[in-house]
Amino acid sequence: MGNKRVSKLRKVLQEQGLDAMLITSGYNRRYLSGFTGSSGYVLVTGDDSYLLTDFRYMTQASEEVTGLKVVQHEAKFIDTVRELLPKGGQARVGFEQDDVTFSAYTAYAEALQPAVMVPLSKTVENLRMFKDEEELAVMQRAADLADATFSHILNVIKPGMTERDVDLEMEFYMRTHGATSSSFDTIVASGERSAMPHGVASSKIIGNNEFVTFDFGALLDGYCSDVTRTIALGSPDPKLKEIYDVVLEAQLHALAHIKPGMTGRECDALARDIITRYGYGEYFGHSTGHGLGMEVHEWPRLSKLADEVLQPGMVVTVEPGIYLAGLGGVRIEDDIVITDSGIALLTHSSKDYTVL
């Protein structure tokens, strides 16, 4: 794993005229090295690549890391970086400007003199957008676990439970079936709170004749799933069934037409135009989707402002919604892989209008 990914990064560095790159992001460190510890750095040069960590993790790193040399760094890791940089001249060292604070940058720059530090943005993240077969297999397992969790909670949820009761049951199910944790703070939003796109589970008691929106995912072996379903308890306001049907039509239309070569903007319009045509455009205030992988929000984006072009191997969510303050809301979300000809679904939970 490590060799192939490091080789791709090294090629990018050569194209940009850089002699080395320092990786400080924990996600990118794991992506390049396989190391799951909480402290460490990756240094990639023209000829070598290193995983730098401290005494606590040396045994773990030697067991997990492939394709990189494991080095125990000095008390100040940047001193070890300086020793490993190519000798002679002023080395140009890329660093992750979106991860490094200004104070850290100034300390690194001073310690590495006469090397010159060059800010880079999304260099490794651009590689992470394209999932290989190994990654897709893990993401499918994470999606399968999310689907199983949804099936489980439909047999558990009932009026009188609090949203946090439901959240805890979902978390317990995911954990006891292999997840490290949930992908993010689970959203269980019932009644009027379902009109809150990010209404994380609260102490509210779930009542009868309400909609409940679940937005959740399983973090499994380093990769996330992200699913949203909305269900009805009892006999909610007929207006809610109306917007459910609109959101479902928009989501299914987007899934049927997304294909490689489209921009994120074009994908967003597939769902947004339908919701707007029914008169609910102003009640769909977030993007249609986002990239998914080691983090729950990655590149690319499916939004009104996104010019990135979708390509095979990318994994994104498709999640239109309508939110009516004081009444309730609906969101329906699936995880998909962009293929050579269209998409493949990772999530398969039913989207039929479900009444409990």
The values of phi and psi at residue 282, to 5°, are -70, -10
What per-residue confidence (pLDDT) applies to 190? 97
pLDDT per position as a tens digit, 117-147: 999 999 999 999 999 999 999 999 999 999 9
**Shared-domain flag, residues 63 and 151:** no
Quick: pLDDT tens for 142-157. Answer: 999 999 999 999 999 9
Query: E strand or H helix at 95, and its extent?
Result: strand 92-96
Q: Is residue 351 in some structural domain?
A: no
Over residues 199-235, the pLDDT tens digits come to 999 999 999 999 999 999 999 999 999 999 999 999 9
Q: Which two structure tokens, joined as six digits, stand for 78?
A: 């940047």
- At residue 351, φ and ψ (nearest 5 deg) are -110, 10
Contact 291, 129 (CB under 8 A): yes
pLDDT on residue 42: 97
Both 258 and 142 in one domain: the answer is: yes
What is the spatial distance between Cα 124 and Cα 92, in angstroms, rounded to a whole number? 17
Residues 262 and 326 reside in one and the same domain: yes
Of the candidates 127, 157, 181, which is a domain's last residue? 127
Contact 120, 21 (CB under 8 A): yes
| Predicted confidence (pLDDT) per residue in 53-103, tens digit | 999 999 999 999 999 999 999 999 999 999 999 887 789 999 999 999 999
Question: Which of these, 270, 282, 344, lies nearest to 306 by C-alpha position?
Answer: 270
3-state helix, strand, coil in the chain (%, to 5): 40, 25, 35
Task: Compute and round to an integer the Cα radius of gyration of the chain.
Answer: 23
Q: Residue 168 belongs to what domain range?
A: 133-345
Single residue among 75, 104, 127 that ends a domain in this structure = 127
From the list 237, 231, 202, 232, the residue with the least C-alpha distance to 214 is: 231
Evaluate if residue 2 carries a pLDDT over 70. Answer: no
| Full strand arrangement of the beta sheet holding 343-345 | 298-302, 289-291, 315-318, 334-338, 343-345
Six-digit token string for 333: 């979300």
Of 104, 127, 150, at which residue does a domain stop? Answer: 127
Q: Could you tell me if 97 and 119 are in contact, meaning their C-beta atoms sit under 8 angstroms apart?
A: yes
Query: Same domain, yes or no, for 98 and 156?
Result: no
Task: Output the domain CATH number for residue 234.
Answer: 3.90.230.10
Find the CATH number of the domain harbouring 92: 3.40.350.10
**Per-residue pLDDT at 86:** 87
pLDDT digits (tens, 9 = 90+) for 28-57: 999 999 999 999 999 999 999 999 999 999
Report the sign of the C-alpha dihedral through residues 267, 272, 275, 277, in that order.
negative
Please provide the average confidence, as pLDDT, over all residues in the chain: 96
Q: Is residue 236 located within the same domain as residue 307?
A: yes
Please check whether residues 104 and 150 belong to one and the same domain.
Answer: no
Q: Are residues 183 and 266 in the same domain?
A: yes
Confidence of residue 297 (pLDDT cuts 50, 70, 90): very high
